[in-house]
Chains A and B, each alone.
Chain A
Amino acid sequence: MNPAIMIEDLNLWIKNRQILHNISLRAPAYKITVIIGPSGSGKSTLLRTINRLIELTEGVRYTGMIRVLGKDIMDWDVYELRRTAVYVAQTPNPFPHMTIYENVAIGPVLHDIVRDKADLDRIVRWALEKAMLWDEVKGRLDEKPGVLSGGQQQRLCIARALALKPQILLLDEPTANIDPENTHRIEEVLKRLRDEMTIVLVTHNHDQAMRLADYLVVIRDGHIESSVKPGD
């Protein structure tokens, strides 16, 4: 099977400081690939390069090739690429001025994914159920996300990403600032999503990596140290 993401000889600089060195890796489709490494090792930068979100950072340049679903990322329409490989940030970032419902609905509405209101309601419910948040918020969809806990907000952000029906989910330490209960729930969410989409997860938590990874990539100082299948 073709990998969902294929990276060859990626070198990346931010303001002339090299962050990534000769990175090559493959993220198989419908698997969880975990990128693990210490803080400052370049793992988040690598993740943000996959859907070109890194280009929002000033002074970035990179060489090498990244293919997403078989197509060079430079040949993608950048917005379509970001809708296909959706990024979820480390710190929950729901839109504070929108309701819980609107937060999930905004993607499908903007990108004409839905036919009518009933269809939108279905997608919102589906995404919230997938993110294991529906039961906690179904009675207060009209409230602002500020009423939710940090862990719930992070699951809301995952639901918001899922509502776009992406083929790839890029998660940047999604449980870094979250309590153990919510961490467990998010891990359950990811395990359930494994069969429906390709997931690339960045973490510095070794135990979490071992619990989730189908493929494990260890990165240190911008170099890939090893790439293994846990259990091998």
Chain B
Amino acid sequence: MKEDRLFFLALLPFGAIVVAVFIVFVSTLLYNSLPIFIHEGLMVYTSSTWRPVENNPEAEVYGLLAPMIGTLEVSFLAIIISLPPGLSLAIMIEEYLPTGLKSLMETIIEVMAGLPTVLYGMWASLFFADYLKSDLMIPLHEILWFIPIFGCMPESPYTVFTAGVILGIMIMPYMVGLILDGIRQIPKKIREACYSLGMTKYETVRILLRLMRPVIIASVLLSLGRAAGETIAVSLTIGNTYNIPECLFTPGYTISSLIADQFGNSGFYVYMASALYAGGLFLLLLGVITSSTGLYLMRRWKTSV
């Protein structure tokens, strides 16, 4: 039909724009990262020296290993902190709460997911971090001092641990949403099969959880991608100190907090902006891997149930 073809042609530019923006975005990252790769090679990802030198480009050294490790540490910590309560909350909402309470809880979760991240950062930085230090970090160190990641006494409230906890709180609503979406994709007939075999609610939930394992893994991956890129809240709570954090109770950096913190200074140096672009490339790669794997698992699961 002529009308259909015209309508399709009218829509085409909008789809093309999205693809074009993505291509330009990736190309820009790659192009602007090139100088640091030419200057340092892959050392930019394997070294943890950060040495900006004014008016002497040859002496500039930028290694991203420390913030890369910081990014992974904070993100994994956030997942460990958000997964058990997130999963429990999703099960409680879907399987146990009456309709009224269910919609109230979902509204609260949606509001939490939509809050500007700077609010979480500010709340954590001005209020929560002190309690976290005195009531959790110090006791954890005193009890589990023999485990290296808890082996140092927290001196400041702004640490990798603080950033991980606040990030965990922030991504939990997102994770709950993904898991709820998964639970709701389970056909009614499966739940009915459980009850018709005389299973209790607890036994039914166990069966559904086993069925949902790929969704849970996908939710973790998608949340990990989101956590890795979070900037403001992490920047306000991690302490922004350039070192490889072997212990969770020391300050650190993530790639995103490094970019936020150093971007203003990058104009004074020849290679710093390029190094920050290379950090962006790392985040992009991490995001693409986690998101595409998560989405693939989610889609495959949806067609299998």
Contact = CB atoms under 8 A, between A and B. Distances in A.
A82 B203 CA distance: 14
Nearest to B191: A56
Interface in A82-117: 82-84, 86-89, 91, 93-97, 106-107, 110-111
Given A95-B211, A97-B211, A86 B199 contact: no
Given A79-B198, A79-B199, A110-B199, A96 B304 contact: yes
Contacts of A51: 196
For B190, B195, B213, B305, the residue with the greatest tally of chain A CB atoms inside 10 Å of its CB is B195
Nearest to A48: B196
Interface in B187-202: 187, 189-193, 195-200
Interface residues of B, number: 19
A161 interface: yes
A164 interface: yes
Interface in B201-259: 203, 207, 210-211, 213
A160 interface: yes
A80 interface: yes
A107 B210 contact: no
A37 to B, nearest CB: 21
Contacts of A86: 196-198
A87 B197 CA distance: 7
B197 A82 contact: yes
A83 B198 contact: yes
B203 A110 contact: yes
Contacts of A73: none
A53 interface: yes
Contacts of B210: 97
Contacts of A107: 197-198
A117 B191 CA distance: 27
Contacts of B198: 79-84, 86, 107, 111, 164
Contacts of A96: 190, 211, 304-305
Interface of A: 51, 53, 56, 79-84, 86-89, 91, 93-97, 106-107, 110-111, 146, 157, 160-161, 164
Given A87-B196, A93-B187, A107-B197, 12 more contacts: A53-B196, A56-B191, A82-B195, A82-B196, A83-B198, A86-B198, A93-B190, A96-B304, A97-B305, A107-B198, A146-B304, A164-B198
